């Protein structure tokens, strides 16, 4: 018999055998809404997510709408680009803590050197770092650039600096810096940061711990999905 006829005959025999044994072949799944089901639930899918690229000199932690979203996995060098997929919800409050490499007691790096920072981020929805963001320094040093007698100034960091309702109205705007001034390393050039700008406080050299904040508004935005997570991820690693 020809191969096509053989396959047809085999399928017919299998179907007859299952029927005789009291079984029926499994029914085909019916198509439904994208990310939905027969109960009217619409779940988000990866098509609803957007990518975020982040580069920091030297380290960062990112919160979105008060939730921990990304942490630089390498606390010093080599510098790395962290790319994550997020499920955006608007309005979206973005809060970042960025740290330059600096001894907490002297503000110096590599013994007697003054380092410099730099932070850049791009969301696939078009949100980018620039001078519209708020920025505040919480660790400065060595004061006056004095490497012979280095002193530092630490400002207590608010416990809720990443919260949606945190008041940053008195903070100054971030300062933009050129790519040449920050001098990013190779991973930066392998990622998409088009349209984004390096930012820091007004002192790229002496300010070592910076918190950035901004809020992204999208009037009229509604999620495509109607489901919410049941798990609580607000507690780890403390509960």
**128: Cα within 13 Å, side-chain hemisphere:** 11
Q: Is 159 exposed, middle or buried (0-12, 13-18, 19+ CB in 10 A)?
A: exposed
Strands 198-200 and 50-56, how do they pair?
A: unpaired
Instruction: Say if residue 116's pLDDT is above 50.
Output: yes
pLDDT of residue 206: 98
16-37 in b/e burial notation, b at 16+ Cβ within 10 A? Answer: eeeeeeeeeeeeeeeeeeebbe
| Mean pLDDT for all residues in the chain | 88
Percentage of residues in the chain with pLDDT exceeding 90? 78
pLDDT band at 36 (very low <50, low <70, confident <90, very high): low
142-171 residue pLDDT tens: 999 999 999 999 999 999 999 999 999 999
Q: What confidence score (pLDDT) does residue 39 get?
A: 81
Band of pLDDT at residue 13, cut at 50, 70 and 90: very low
If one compares 116 and 16, the residue with the highest pLDDT of the two is: 116
pLDDT digits (tens, 9 = 90+) for 185-225: 999 999 999 999 999 999 999 999 999 999 999 999 999 99
H/E element, 200: strand 198-200
Q: What is the CA radius of gyration of the chain?
A: 26
What residue ranges define each of the domains in the chain, with the CATH number in brackets? 46-216 (2.60.120)
CA angle 219, 222, 226 (to 5 degrees): 160
Pairwise CA distance, residues 61 & 75, whole Å: 10
Q: Is the dihedral of CA 214, 219, 223, 224 positive or negative?
A: negative
pLDDT at 4: 45
The strand pair at 92-99 and 67-71 is best described as: unpaired
pLDDT of residue 55: 98
Q: Using omega within 30 degrees of 0 as the cis cutoff, is the peptide bond preceding 119 cis?
A: no
Closest among 193, 213, 207 to 82, alpha carbons compared? 193
| HEC readout, 130-181 | CCCCEEEEEEECCHHHCCCCCCCEECCCCCCCCCCCCCCCCCEECEEECHHH
H or E element, residue 11: helix 3-20
**What is the percentage of the chain residues whose pLDDT exceeds 70?**
84
Residue with tokens 């029914």: 27
- CA nearest 233: which of 59, 47, 63? 63
Question: What pTM was estimated for this model as a whole?
Answer: 0.84
Is the N-terminal amide bond of 143 cis, ω within 30° of 0? no
């Amino acid at each position: 018999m020809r191969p096509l006829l053989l396959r047809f005959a085999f399928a017919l025999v299998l179907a007859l055998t299952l029927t005789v044994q009291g079984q029926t072949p499994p029914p085909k799944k019916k198509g439904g809404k994208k990310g939905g089901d027969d109960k009217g639930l619409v779940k988000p899918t990866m098509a609803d997510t957007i990518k975020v690229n982040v580069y920091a000199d030297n380290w960062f932690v990112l919160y979105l709408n008060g939730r921990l979203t990304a942490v630089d996995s390498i606390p010093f060098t080599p510098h790395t680009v962290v790319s994550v997929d997020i499920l955006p919800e608007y309005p979206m409050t973005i809060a970042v803590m960025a740290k330059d490499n600096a001894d907490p007691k002297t503000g110096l790096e590599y013994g007697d050197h003054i380092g410099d920072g730099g932070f850049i981020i791009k969301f696939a929805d078009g949100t980018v770092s620039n001078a519209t963001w708020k920025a505040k320094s919480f660790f400065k040093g060595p004061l006056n650039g004095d490497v012979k007698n280095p002193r530092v100034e630490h400002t207590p960091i608010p416990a809720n600096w990443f919260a949606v309702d945190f008041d940053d109205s008195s903070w100054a705007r971030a300062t933009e810096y050129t790519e040449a001034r920050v001098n990013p390393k190779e991973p930066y050039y392998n990622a998409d940061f088009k349209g984004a700008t390096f930012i820091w406080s007004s002192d790229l050299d002496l300010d070592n711990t910076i918190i950035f904040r901004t809020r992204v508004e999208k009037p009229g935005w509604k999620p495509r999905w109607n489901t919410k997570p049941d798990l609580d991820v607000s507690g780890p690693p403390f509960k």
